[in-house]
Amino acid sequence: MKRLSVLFALILMPAAPVAFADGHAAGEVNAIVERIRKVGAVCVEGDACAAGATAAVAAPAGAAAGGIEGRYNATCGTCHLAGVGGAPKLGDTEAWAPRLAKGMDVLYESGIAGLAPAMPARGLCMDCSDDEIRAIVDYMVDTVR
């Protein structure tokens, strides 16, 4: 049966006999056939084969929808995760202490209006509402309280 499938591969795939003559095992020929087949495979939305692609496309949206933490990671995190330009990181008590002393209203205002020179207005999250910015600031501050 294996010989038969190899024979079919030889008939159907012009490239296969070359590989076979090189001394490749039948399994390798089958692997080549499999590889070539996949190039031409059509994957239509709704098919099982399309599920992976749909999931991959949906992933970024899922990350953005991951609540306040997701918002933080996707926007504020650009600077705050690594501490770019002195941006205070999550859980960095020392960096947050002088900021906490200013009071939450000032921190909310810094989040919404920005803080010169390096903290941009809305932390560059242009579609974040004021309430979302406040919630993200709460999330940041909660890690150092």
Q: What residues line the site for ligand HEC (CB under 6 A)?
A: 75-76, 78-80, 84-88, 99, 102, 106-107, 110-111, 115, 118-120, 122-125, 128, 133, 136-137
Minimum CB–partner distance for residue 84 and ligand HEC (Å): 6
Of 28 and 132, nearer to ligand HEC (C-beta) is: 132
Rounded Cα gap, residues 89 and 123, in angstroms: 14
Of 7 and 65, nearer to ligand HEC (C-beta) is: 65
Query: Which long-range contacts (C-beta less than 8 Å, at least 24 apart) are formed by 1-5?
Result: 2/26, 5/30
Minimum CB–partner distance for residue 39 and ligand HEC (Å): 42
Token look-up 């031409």 returns 40
Burial of residue 128, with CB atoms counted within 10 A of its CB: 0-12 exposed, 13-18 middle, 19 or more buried? buried
Minimum CB–partner distance for residue 94 and ligand HEC (Å): 13
Minimum CB–partner distance for residue 17 and ligand HEC (Å): 59
Q: Which residues pair with 119 in a beta bridge?
A: 115
